[in-house]
Amino acid sequence: MNAPIRKTLAELRSQRWLASDDIRGFAHRQRLQQQGLAREEFMGRPVIGIINTWSELSPCHAHLRERAQAVKRGVLQAGGYPFELPALSLGEVMVKPTTMLYRNFLAMEAEELLRSLPLDGAVLMGGCDKTTPGLVMGALSMDIPAIFCPAGPMLNDRYKGATVGAGTHTKKYWEQYTIGAIDQPEWIALEGRMTRAPGTCNTMGTASTMTSIVEAMGFTLPGATSIPAMDAGHSRMAWACGKRAVEMVWEDLKPSRFITRASFLNGIAAWMALGGSTNAAVHLPAMAGRAGIELRLEDFDAIARRVPVIANLFPSGNRLMEDYHYAGGLPALLNRIAGELDLTAQTITGRSLGENIAGHTCSDDDVIRDPASPLVVAPPDCPEASMALAVVHGNLCPDGAVIKPSAATPKLLRHTGRALVFDSNAEMLAAVNDPNLDADENTVLVLRNGGPVGGPGMPEWGNLPIPKKLLKQGVRDMLRISDARMSGTHYGTCVLHVAPESAVGGPLALIRTGDLITLDIGARRLDVQLTEAEWAERRAAWKPPQQPYARGFTRLYQQQVTQANEGCDFALLSGNAPTPEPPIY
Ligand code: FES
Ligand code: MG
- Give tens-digit pLDDT for 548-565: 999 999 999 999 999 999
pLDDT in tens, 466-513: 999 999 899 999 999 999 999 988 889 999 999 999 999 999 999 999
- DSSP H or E run through 50: strand 47-52
Which residue's alpha carbon is nearest to atom 2 within ligand 1? 201
Residues contacting residue 194 through CB under 8 Å, at least 6 positions apart? 157, 159, 164, 165, 166, 169, 170
Q: Which ligand is nearest to the CA of 89?
A: 1
Over residues 45-52, the mean pLDDT reads: 98
Among all ligands shown, which has an atom nearest to the Cα of 55? Answer: 1
Whole-number Å distance, alpha carbon 485 to ligand 2 midpoint, is: 10
Q: Say whether the ipTM exceeds 0.90.
A: yes
Residues with CB under 6 A from ligand 1: 60, 92-93, 128-129, 166, 200-201, 205, 207
Q: Kindly report, residue by residue over 109-138, the tens digit of the pLDDT.
A: 999 999 999 999 999 999 999 999 999 999
pLDDT of residue 492: 94
Which numbered atom of ligand 1 lies nearest the CA of 59?
1
The ligand minimizing its distance to the Cα of 91 is 1
In the chain, count of helices (H) and strands (E)? 20, 14
DSSP state at residue 570 = B
The beta strand positions in 218-361, using DSSP E, are none
pLDDT at 162: 87
Q: Which atom of ligand 1 is nearest to the CA of 91?
A: 1
Residue 212 has pLDDT above 80, yes or no: yes
CA 194 vs CA 99, 158, 176, 202: distances in Å: 22, 7, 16, 9
pLDDT, one tens digit per residue, over 335-364 is: 999 999 999 999 999 999 999 999 999 999
CA distance 100 to 131: 10
Q: How far is CA 62 from the centre of its chain?
A: 19
CB atoms within 10 A of CB 31: 10
Tell me which residue has its CA closest to atom 3 in ligand 1. Answer: 92
Span from the CA of 4 to the centroid of ligand 2 (angstroms):
39
Query: Which pLDDT score is estimated for 165?
Result: 86
Evaluate if residue 3 carries a pLDDT over 80: no
Percent of the chain with pLDDT over 70: 100
How far is ligand 1, taken at its centre, from the CA of residue 91, in Å? 7
Q: Report whether 266 contacts 216 (CB < 8 A).
A: yes
pLDDT tens-digit series, residues 7-30: 999 999 999 999 999 999 999 999
Taking 70 as the threshold, does the pLDDT of residue 514 lie above it?
yes
Euclidean distance between CA atoms 274 and 330, whole angstroms:
9
Determine the average pLDDT of the residues in 306-311: 98
Give whole-number Cα distances, 275 to 319, 383, 386, in Å: 13, 16, 9
- DSSP alpha helices (H): ranges in 123-205? 131-142, 168-178, 184-189
- Given the CA of residue 61, which atom of ligand 1 is nearest to it? 1
φ/ψ (deg, to 5) at 419: -75, 140
Q: Is the pLDDT of residue 1 over 60?
A: no
Judge if pTM exceeds 0.90: yes
- Residues 563-568 have a mean pLDDT of 98
Q: Of 348, 291, 357, give the one whose Cα is nearest residue 328.
A: 357
Average pLDDT over residues 392-417: 97
Q: Where are the beta strands (DSSP E) in 63-161?
A: 81-86, 121-126, 146-150, 157-159
Q: Specify the pLDDT at position 276.
A: 97
**Which residues, 6+ apart, have CB-to-CB distance to 584 below 8 Å?**
16, 17, 20, 24
* Mean pLDDT to the nearest integer, 573-579: 92
Residue among 60, 103, 171 to mutate when testing ligand 1 (max atoms within 8 A of CB): 60
> Which ligand 1 atom sits nearest the alpha carbon of residue 207?
4
The Å distance, Cα 154 to ligand 1 centre, comes to 9
Which of the listed residues 57, 128, 211 should we mutate to test ligand 1's pocket, taking the one with most ligand atoms within 8 A of CB?
128
At residue 311's C-alpha, the angle toward residues 414 and 477, to 5°, is 30
Per-residue DSSP letter, 2: P
Cβ-in-10-Å burial (0-12, 13-18, 19+) of 514 comes to exposed
pLDDT of residue 570 exceeding 70, the answer is yes
Mutate to test the pocket of ligand 1, among 54, 57, 92 (most ligand atoms within 8 A of CB): 92
Q: What is the pLDDT of residue 2?
A: 60
C-alpha 165 – ligand 1 centre gap (Å):
11
Q: Of all protein residues, whose CA lies closest to atom 1 belonging to ligand 1?
A: 128
| pLDDT for the residue 183 | 96
CA atoms of 232 and 70, how far apart (whole Å): 11
Phi, psi at 414, each rounded to 5°: -125, 100
Say if residue 167's pLDDT is above 80. no
Half-sphere exposure of 563 (CA within 13 A, CB side): 21
Average pLDDT over residues 300-320: 95
Q: Is the dihedral of CA 447, 450, 455, 460 positive or negative?
A: positive
